[in-house]
Amino acid sequence: MKHLTNHEMWEQTYQSPDEFEELAFDWRNYLAAAIAEKIEKIGLEKTTVLEIGAGNSQWLPYFAKKYQDSRFAGLDYSKTGCEKLGLRIAAAGTTANIDIYHQDMFMNNPEIQGKFDVVLSFGVVEHFSDLSQTLLEIKKYLKDGGTMFTLIPNMSGSIGHLTRIFNKKIYAGHNPHDLNSLLDGHQKAGMEILSGSYLGSTGYGVLSSCFNERRGKSYQFYVFLSRLSKAIWYFESKFQNLPASKFFSPYIYVVSCKPLSA
């Protein structure tokens, strides 16, 4: 199986200055609220939860603070990412119920395999050529009957088209799945599909990783699109959500279950 990104790239990604703002769910961060809603419907009370690819995650400190009777863990193969996660957890004051594992998710570790009720991943599985094999590796961390939440950027829609224009290297690091191929990968990995869809009506802020410098016509176009997305979120927060779609939605998600016999 081919890795579409490399360790050095992720280490560089986590070299940003230390800024540990907690998640906030007002209209300016409307997508995060939508993601949190999907995850919390799974049920996180008194559970064990693992995030795969958790370097510098905002999600673990947020959920750990909210669900203090649950046990959380983050796994990442980036040393810098794990260090950033530790600092973020300390800043949030949630060190008591979160463990950090600095290791590759493909490694065998009986200490944590088969131990979790819920496994989360945000933008991980699309960085590998074989989706079902990647999901099989993530599946091994679940207890029988456990639930997997998978979120990826919608690189099959306008986000992907613009990424390819703005930054071909970033685009090449993604396997551009649509909803059908993401669902198919879960089924081939032996997971039972509980729900899945495109998520969000718009969200061009996802394109921020395409730009190393804040200048140029492409960057200005990205700024325009990002502001347009926020204007739409404001409308949605006051009136009603606009429909998700294959072309405009920034994310795709799947909630699936590991069968009891698996």
pLDDT averaged over every residue in the chain: 93
pLDDT in the model for residue 23 = 84
CA torsion 63-64-67-70 (nearest 10°) is 120
- On the question of pLDDT at 9 being above 80, the answer is no
In a domain, 2, yes or no: no
Asked whether residue 1 is assigned to any structural domain, the reply reads: no
Cβ–Cβ < 8 Å for 79, 104: no
pTM of the model: 0.95
Interatomic CA distance for residues 222 and 111, integer angstroms:
44
Give CA–CA dist 3/35, Å, rounded: 26
pLDDT in tens, 209-239: 999 889 999 999 999 999 999 999 999 999 9
| Residue 137 binned pLDDT confidence (cut-offs 50, 70, 90) | very high
Q: How many domains does the structure of the chain reveal? A: 1
d(CA 68, CA 70): 5
Mean pLDDT of 100-122: 96
Given this model, what pLDDT does residue 18 score? 61
pLDDT digits (tens, 9 = 90+) for 56-107: 999 999 999 999 999 999 999 999 999 999 999 998 887 779 999 999 999 9
Whether 240 has a pLDDT exceeding 80, the answer reads yes
Diameter over CA atoms, the chain? 55
pLDDT digits (tens, 9 = 90+) for 42-57: 999 999 999 999 999 9
Contact 199, 179 (CB under 8 A): no
d(CA 176, CA 155): 5
- Residue 262 pLDDT exceeds 60: no
| CATH number where 174 lies | 3.40.50.150
Confidence of residue 17 (pLDDT cuts 50, 70, 90): low
Predicted confidence (pLDDT) at residue 185 exceeds the cutoff of 80: yes
Alpha-carbon span 132 to 186, nearest angstrom: 6
170 contacts 210 by C-beta, under 8 angstroms = yes
* Residues whose CB is less than 8 angstroms from the CB of residue 149 and which lie 6 or more positions away in sequence, other chains included: 38, 39, 42, 118, 119, 120, 121, 253, 254, 255
Dig out the tokens for 174 from the structure.
Answer: 């993604």
Question: How far apart, in whole angstroms, are the C-alpha atoms of residue 120 and residue 118?
Answer: 7
User: In the structure, what pLDDT confidence band is assigned to residue 1 with cuts at 50, 70 and 90?
Assistant: low
**56: containing domain:** 7-258
